[in-house]
Structure 1
């Protein structure tokens, strides 16, 4: 890669690490950033090992804080979404998925920013909604590691405490990423070249995990969710632009 490519790769690895440290929405920037210098498919293949090693750091910090009730409602749909993504990998354009994810995230972020904070109790964790949004999160995570937006659509209205939110998010995507190893290997996305780049980026991501853990513990709940919502808004706009451009070019 060129110097610009390596710079973008390092920033992408930092985004992955910060996400595993608890700032979940930041990771959605990783594949779009690398896609500026390589194909989205290769970018996803390079970053999956970085995600998985970073997951270990996140699990060490957060697994005790996970809400297993929420996870039980989302994992079946997520695994089904990954399987569906594997079966349709050769016929569905990545740009189309990026556009859909961007529109979902943009709608949710604008709604969260414009509406008044709810006065009632948090929304309960329901099976139907959990399976639906878990499925979308699993599918979009398989295609471009962008499952955080649909995941947040379901989880944020539950209004979990920041540490519980971070723990639930970390454990959810740790399992999702581990499951993705099987189809990624079958599709040839874990090539020696991709693994070599991932090995160089992993220490950067692990440092960012530590940094993310410290930031989550320092941030008050209101600031935490405001940060996540604005990150979702900005990333969604980027995904819409990238997905729309890809469809037009195709």
Structure 2
């Protein structure tokens, strides 16, 4: 657990990064925070620490973006996401995580390459059924690794949303999905007095990261925002592919 300054510094950095990513840039790279924590503690403990902090970040980001989301697109992802969480509960102990990481990584990187190939003026809209599939995958990968951002981004980035509408929609979607994850996490033993104490220590960094993320969101021009989002999606996809193959 957090038993040294080095571990605390890494955890604070990871949580602050999650806050900036979730509150400002569509959650694309927030999953990396759990991966960083897993370097210095058991993965199950890292996931248990991160979920309440991610929920705190959701709350901090919800008010600035309240009502600015695309409800039709959010509804599609949520309707797919909740069953995806249920599938994550069921398959948590038997799923082949590396195959899943590889598939999501290939989809993420492939989507960016596809959009660059077709050009910004020729973006193709992912259909509703594709959004339901993306939501289901996002719910599942969010449950097992807090990595729901890339599948959701694949759907939302194709919908032609403005940067604030896009960001607000991701905040709403993952607020609901993270709530749906909480009770199953408790039953699976992911929470303890130690994880609670770690959350109390790290909560200020989560809120600070969220505040910085919201401010950065409004400072960046729309073109730069989506450039950053595509970069984050590429990096997260590449990281998932690397993790799967190594």
Question: What's the TM-score, normalizing by structure 2?
Answer: 0.92
Give the aligned partner of residue 178 of structure 1: 179
Give the aligned partner of residue 5 of structure 1: 7
Mapped pair 1:53 → 2:33:
no
Cα gap change, 1:244/1:42 in structure 2, threshold over 3 Å: closer, same or farther? Answer: farther
The structural deviation recorded for 1:21 is 1.8
Q: Name which of 20, 33, 38 aligns with 2:36.
A: 33
- Report the Cα distance in structure 1 between the residues aligned to 2:105 and 2:243, rounded to whole angstroms: 9
Give the aligned partner of residue 188 of structure 2: 187
**Is the partner of 1:242 in helix, strand or coil?**
helix
The structural deviation recorded for 1:66 is 1.0
Give the aligned partner of residue 248 of structure 1: none
Structure 2, unaligned stretches of length 5 or more?
none
**Is the partner of 2:24 in helix, strand or coil?**
coil
Structure 1, unaligned stretches of length 5 or more?
246-250
The structural deviation recorded for 1:119 is 4.4
**Is the partner of 1:231 in helix, strand or coil?**
helix
> Deviations for 1:50-90, whole angstroms, at most 9, x for unmatched residues?
00111111111112201111112121110000001101111
- Report the Cα distance in structure 2 between the residues aligned to 1:42 and 1:200, rounded to whole angstroms: 15
Mapped pair 1:227 → 2:236:
no
**RMSD of aligned alpha carbons:** 1.8
Question: What's the TM-score, normalizing by structure 1?
Answer: 0.90
Deviates most, 103-112 or 165-174: 103-112
- Report the Cα distance in structure 1 between the residues aligned to 2:101 and 2:119, rounded to whole angstroms: 29
Cα gap change, 1:113/1:9 in structure 2, threshold over 3 Å: closer, same or farther? Answer: farther
**Is the partner of 1:146 in helix, strand or coil?**
coil
Would the aligned equivalents of 2:74 and 2:169 in 1 still touch at CA under 8 Å?
Answer: yes
Give the aligned partner of residue 211 of structure 2: 210
- Report the Cα distance in structure 1 between the residues aligned to 2:195 and 2:136, rounded to whole angstroms: 27
- Report the Cα distance in structure 2 between the residues aligned to 1:164 and 1:28, rounded to whole angstroms: 21
Would the aligned equivalents of 1:133 and 1:153 in 2 still touch at CA under 8 Å?
Answer: yes
- Report the Cα distance in structure 2 between the residues aligned to 1:94 and 1:106, rounded to whole angstroms: 18
Give the aligned partner of residue 169 of structure 1: 170
Number of equivalent positions = 243
Q: Name which of 2, 21, 24 aligns with 1:22.
A: 24
Q: Name which of 77, 82, 86 aligns with 2:85.
A: 82
Cα gap change, 1:7/1:241 in structure 2, threshold over 3 Å: closer, same or farther? Answer: farther
Cα gap change, 1:99/1:119 in structure 2, threshold over 3 Å: closer, same or farther? Answer: closer
The structural deviation recorded for 1:108 is 1.9
The structural deviation recorded for 1:131 is 0.9
Would the aligned equivalents of 1:20 and 1:57 in 2 still touch at CA under 8 Å?
Answer: no
Would the aligned equivalents of 1:82 and 1:139 in 2 still touch at CA under 8 Å?
Answer: yes
- Report the Cα distance in structure 2 between the residues aligned to 1:191 and 1:4, rounded to whole angstroms: 22
**Is the partner of 2:120 in helix, strand or coil?**
coil
Cα gap change, 1:43/1:77 in structure 2, threshold over 3 Å: closer, same or farther? Answer: same
